[in-house]
Structure 1
Amino acid sequence: MIPQLVTVRVRRANGRRLRLYVPVLLVLLVLSPLLLLAVAAGLVACFITGVRPVGALRGAGQLLWALPGTRFEIEQGRTAVLVSVR
């Protein structure tokens, strides 16, 4: 299942907190022209480096499929960032 929602929580150094909810499908629809350019550039890079494009696309799909449930936590000093993929 592809990710549907990305939650970003930021705790700033001054103690204020910010929470953002990013719907993945909406972002993909808005950025779809750039996504087509990125796929085309990836195909050109595959041909230049000698990697099979079907294998590269399959690997990217498997990575996308494995993202739900992933959490990234980064802390530096009093600032913290948490990214959760659902």
Structure 2
Amino acid sequence: MIPQLLTVGVKRPDRRRIRVWVPLLPAVLLLSPIVILAVLAGVVACLMYGISVARALGTGRRIVCALPGTRFDIEFSRTAVLVAIR
């Protein structure tokens, strides 16, 4: 299953926690021209280095499908950034 929602939370010591929910489908649709260019650049890089394009695209698909459930917690000083992919 592809990721559906990205949750970003910021905890600051002086303020309340800020949370932002980003639905990924509209974000990917808006950024699709950049995604297409990135895929084309990846295909060119695969051809230059002799890597199988089909295998590279399949690996990229498996990585994207494995993203749901991923959490990043970054703390610096008294500020924390929490990112969760669902």
TM-score (norm 2): 0.93
The letter of the residue matching 1:29 is L
Q: How many residues matched?
A: 86
Q: How many Å separate the matches in 2 of 1:11 and 1:53?
A: 42
Aligned to 1:8: 8
TM-score (norm 1): 0.93
Q: How many Å separate the matches in 1 of 2:10 and 2:32?
A: 27
- Residues 57, 14 of structure 1: CA spacing in aligned structure 2 closer, same or farther, 3 A cutoff? same
| Identical-pair percentage | 53
For structure 2, list consecutive stretches of 5 or more residues without a partner in the other structure: none
Root-mean-square deviation (CA, aligned residues, Å) is 1.1
Q: How many Å separate the matches in 1 of 2:65 and 2:26?
A: 18
The answer on 1:50 being equivalent to 2:54 is no
Q: How many Å separate the matches in 2 of 1:25 and 1:40?
A: 21
Aligned to 1:39: 39
Q: Give, in angstroms, the shift of residue 57 of structure 1.
A: 0.5
For structure 1, list consecutive stretches of 5 or more residues without a partner in the other structure: none
| 1:27-80 deviation per Cα after TM superposition (whole angstroms, max 9, x unaligned) | 011011111111100100111111111111111100011111111111111010
The letter of the residue matching 2:31 is L
Q: Give, in angstroms, the shift of residue 13 of structure 1.
A: 4.7
